[in-house]
Amino acid sequence: MAKQDVSARIEDLLNEYLTGKELEIYNIEYKKEGKYWKLRVYLDKPVGCETEYVDINECEEVTRFLSDKLDEEDFIERSYTLEVSSPGLDRELIKPSDFERFAGREVEVKLYKAIDGNKDFVGTLVGKTAEEVTIEIEEREVGIPTDQISKINLAVIF
């Protein structure tokens, strides 16, 4: 079964189960790493939840459900390792809603090629359009073309 099909089936299995649990799917990865296949399901809290972070008990509950369902339906031909987790403190911003939700937070932006000699920027997320992500660096707004961004993550500040 193709990687996209596996992800779509996993999403179908989980969407109904997650309804009413204050959890949502952040991302699903099914890929080969070295000689092993990994199925990773990342869970998130929807906007407006009392808590911002997924806890280990929620991951464990979803792991049990998904493991049982996958054994029952048996649609993945290869052997694989199942991992269920949260996106973490340094989560990658993927969906448009991520950029709305985390506006005002510090982000780290990595580029494919340098702009003004820099491939890495750290600043406060202002917003995102189809064409660019705007961050504030030292009280100055900087627009970075979206097609130049390889990755944008929340910055972890201690």
Confidence (pTM): 0.83
- For residue 87, name the pLDDT band (cuts at 50, 70, 90): very high
Tell me what the mean pLDDT of segment 79-100 comes to. Answer: 92
Q: How far is CA 53 from CA 20, 26, 43, 120, 125, in A?
A: 16, 12, 9, 27, 20
Tell me what the mean pLDDT of segment 114-130 comes to. Answer: 93
Domains and CATH numbers, the chain: 1-85 (3.30.300.70), 96-154 (2.30.30.180)
* pLDDT tens column, 10-63: 999 999 899 888 999 999 999 999 999 999 999 999 888 888 889 999 999 999
Burial of residue 24 (CB within 10 Å: 0-12, 13-18, 19+) is middle
